[in-house]
Amino acid sequence: MILVRPSFLLGRFRTYSTARSSLTVDALVYPKYGRPTEVLKWHSYPLPALTPETVHVKFLASPINPADVNQLQGAYPVKPPFELLGNTDDTKYAVGGNEGVAQVIATGDKVTDLKVGDRVTMAKAGYGTWRTYAAGPVSDFQPLSKADKNVTDVQLATLSVNPCTAYRMLKDFVHLEKGDYVIQNGANSAVGQSVIQLAKAWGIKTVNVVRNRPDIDQLRDDLMQLGATHVITDDVLGSHETKTMIKEWGQPKLGLNCVGGKSATEMARHLSANGQFVTYGAMARAPLALPASLLIFKNLAFHGFWMTRWTDTHSMEERTEMVDDLVAMMARGDFVEPKWTQVDWKEDSVKSAVDHGIQGFGTGKQVILF
């Protein structure tokens, strides 16, 4: 029998047997890849017992990201583990979701790096965050030492993918001085909003490209409020007037491509000579076509960025430094919550949110609150 420290949630001592904990995990799981709404199902199983080296966490919030949908379809390079989850038949399940924030509710006797009450995110992609509880070694979790009470669960639940991606892309491809310009498409995406806020905090100017829509003035106002320098629509991106305007503002040294297709080609044309163009998304599902002149005469360099690869190739210390920096900005009010809508923790609600996530013109990041 392992005696667990007092649960701050229940305000009393709780004990878990070594055979299994007394807690039941409710999870949205899938036995195989396929259409998300067809393969996702509700599954309950006992939380594995605490061991001296593990912790128990309770999930607080978890977003539905485009990559989660791709993963469910089997079209994402990170393959989740398919495991027996307390079931007696032979069906192995993967738990949906990659990102989220959880709170430590119990620690094994040998755990010193985390304590009950700490909030944590997942240390790596593919964890399976659409569930109420999880058990695992400390190395599964990223501590959030700077997360004071000003930092919301939604901010932390949506921290490890999009803000970290924006942070790395602004820092790692070209040295940006204060006043330099960056251009990005998909500027209203969660990554785009992160780019706008980080750039503003670091004195970098942004040209933000979004798809035109009936309420474009509202979207423009929202992005300007967040710190965007300019917002333009993709239907005028290739025009002569836009070219002249961007030249007057100052040609961007860095382009961040969330979309691909025509939007990406037009955006690349606006970069300064020797500019760096980073592709991190492919929302239009159209190939990136590049005029040879951009490579030959302008000497543009084209890169891809994938946060998962960065995490796999960098140390936990480097990741913690970035995460602490971002969380400290959140605590100071320099980095606000993404626009988000609540998804209830019910099978039908999550399934319809996943369906909605496949379509465009979203109303912001969809976040499950447990």
Ligand X SMILES: NC(=O)c1ccc[n+]([C@@H]2O[C@H](COP(=O)([O-])OP(=O)(O)OC[C@H]3O[C@@H](n4cnc5c(N)ncnc54)[C@H](OP(=O)(O)O)[C@@H]3O)[C@@H](O)[C@H]2O)c1
DSSP string, 263-318: HHHHHHTTSPTT-EEEE---TT-------HHHHHTS--EEEE--HHHHHHHS-HHH
Question: For ligand X, which is the closer residue by CB, 245 or 282?
Answer: 282
Question: Which residue, among 253, 258, 256, 252, has the nearest Cα to 283 in the 3D structure?
Answer: 258
Question: For ligand X, which is the closer residue by CB, 106 or 170?
Answer: 170
Contacts 24+ apart (CB under 8 A), 243-250: 243/269, 243/270, 246/183, 246/207, 246/270, 249/181, 249/205, 249/207, 250/179, 250/180, 250/181, 250/205
| Amino acid found at 174 | V
Q: Is 228 in the site for ligand X (CB under 6 A)?
A: no
β-bridge partners, 369: 61, 344
Q: Cα–Cα distance between 370 and 173 in angstroms, integer? A: 38
Ranges within 150-209 binding ligand X (CB under 6 A): 161-162, 165, 186, 188-191
Judge whether 93 counts as a catalytic residue.
no
Tell me the residue nearest to ligand X as measured from the CB: 281
Ranges within 269-288 binding ligand X (CB under 6 A): 280-284
Binding mask 96-135 for ligand X (x = CB under 6 A): ----------------------------------------
Q: Is 223 in the site for ligand X (CB under 6 A)?
A: no
Residue 365 structure tokens: 């990041």
Least separation, in Å, of the C-beta of 284 and ligand X? Answer: 4
Least separation, in Å, of the C-beta of 307 and ligand X? Answer: 3
Catalytic residue selected from 16, 30, 45, 76: 76
Among 198, 307, 323, 329, binds ligand X (CB under 6 A): 307
Q: Cα–Cα distance between 2 and 49 in angstroms, integer? A: 9
Least separation, in Å, of the C-beta of 220 and ligand X? Answer: 13
Query: Which spans of this chain sit near ligand X (rule: CB under 6 A)?
Result: 65-67, 161-162, 165, 186, 188-191, 211, 258-259, 280-284, 305-307, 360-362, 365
Annotated active-site positions, please?
76
